[in-house]
Structure 1
């Protein structure tokens, strides 16, 4: 099986809330019928509106939703039905083949079939520093930054998706997609995000460690980081 990450754009003039509601209503069933498994949607809905200040933007317009799923083969020859479903549900989509690494599995707040997962999901499309080789950037990410992200944040799920290659023409040049889930309060309270409620010294240390590590491998000019609501549809399998 191969994992696919997809970015979806809403039609011009359609609100993200309306776009997301439409995706929830029919996209999971349609993709499942087309052969997708392990489905997950990440939507920019009203539940995460308070986190607009956390958005980092490269693409204009920025993607309005994310879809994650698995296929027996992501080869274009066998993906026609999938692409047709995505085209029917969005104004534009981009796909990448991904290698998934689950750093923190969500055991604290288990998903419910088709329902919004507790808290919120930071959905991050990232690129590596151009002055580093891909190998050097991955080495920093895996050998150093992963530990920092675990130790300095209140994330209860953390999944790294290293992009193997783009699957669609014109897909933005990202290196990876990262999903991290946090308590809802972390949308507006940095001390919650950095697991330092009531401890200013710990907050300062955690923030500094995170920023230092991020600067060690990320290209901040090519990042799209969006707060989302997570919806899991693995029950369809």
Structure 2
């Protein structure tokens, strides 16, 4: 089984609510009929407006949705039905074959088919700095930073998707997409986000430790951070 990520942008003539409803109500069953083994939607919808303060932007405009699709094979002719279903609902998209690592499995609030998952999901689109080789970058991120990300935040799910190769022509160059789920209060309260509610000293320690670690493998101004609602469709 392989995993494909589709970054999706809505047609500006379509409202956000109509776009998101179409993904849930029309695209999801179409993908299942086309042979997809699983689908998770991440939607930058009204439910995450309180998290606007965490946004960072490289893409202009940023994608409105992330489609996480599991298939038997990502070979072109074997996924043609999947691509056709996506194109019918998301004319502008970029697809990537990825490897998935679940650094934290969501056992606190397990996703339920068709329903919005508790809290919110922070998406981070990463680009490897030229100063690091791919092997150096992955080693720092996976073996150095991942424990820091677990120990300094209130995340209850942590999924790392490393890009193997782009699957669509002219797909923008990116190296990974991270998804982390947090309690709803973390959208507006950095103390909750950094697992330090009511504890100023712990907050400052966790924040400093996180920022120091991040800067080892991510250069400023090279990351998109997008809050989203997570829906496991099937």
TM-score, with length taken from structure 2 = 0.97
CA–CA distance in structure 1, aligned partners of residues 109 and 225 of structure 2? 23
Q: Which runs of 5+ in 1 are unaligned?
A: none
Alignment check: 8 A CA contact 1:17 1:44 kept: no
After the TM superposition, which segments of 4 or more aligned residues of structure 1 sit over 6 Å from their partners? none
Compared with structure 1, are the counterparts of its residues 46 and 90 closer, same or farther at alpha carbon in structure 2 (3 Å cutoff)?
A: same
Alignment check: 8 A CA contact 2:41 2:65 kept: yes
Residue in structure 1 matched with residue 166 of structure 2 by the alignment: 166
C-alpha RMSD of the superposition: 1.0
1:225-236 alignment runs, 5 A limit: 225-234=225-234
User: Is structure 2 residue 179 aligned with structure 1 residue 179?
Assistant: yes
Residue in structure 1 matched with residue 101 of structure 2 by the alignment: 101
CA–CA distance in structure 2, aligned partners of residues 60 and 15 of structure 1? 18
Compared with structure 1, are the counterparts of its residues 220 and 17 closer, same or farther at alpha carbon in structure 2 (3 Å cutoff)?
A: farther
Q: Which runs of 5+ in 2 are unaligned?
A: none
Residue in structure 1 matched with residue 28 of structure 2 by the alignment: 28
Residue in structure 2 matched with residue 74 of structure 1 by the alignment: 74
**3-state SS in 1 of match to 2:85:** helix
Alignment check: 8 A CA contact 1:126 1:219 kept: no
Alpha-carbon shift at residue 69 of structure 1 (Å)? 1.3
CA–CA distance in structure 2, aligned partners of residues 75 and 120 of structure 1? 32
TM-score, with length taken from structure 1 = 0.96
Query: Is 21-30 or 140-149 further displaced after alignment?
Result: 21-30
Alpha-carbon shift at residue 56 of structure 1 (Å)? 0.9
CA–CA distance in structure 1, aligned partners of residues 61 and 193 of structure 2? 27
Alignment check: 8 A CA contact 2:42 2:228 kept: yes
Q: How many residues align?
A: 234
Alpha-carbon shift at residue 155 of structure 1 (Å)? 0.3
Alpha-carbon shift at residue 82 of structure 1 (Å)? 1.1
**3-state SS in 2 of match to 1:222:** coil
User: Is structure 2 residue 188 aligned with structure 1 residue 188?
Assistant: yes
1:198-209 alignment runs, 5 A limit: 198-209=198-209
CA–CA distance in structure 2, aligned partners of residues 52 and 163 of structure 1? 26
Alpha-carbon shift at residue 33 of structure 1 (Å)? 0.8
Residue in structure 2 matched with residue 49 of structure 1 by the alignment: 49
**3-state SS in 2 of match to 1:216:** helix
Query: Is 220-229 or 171-180 further displaced after alignment?
Result: 220-229
**3-state SS in 1 of match to 2:217:** coil
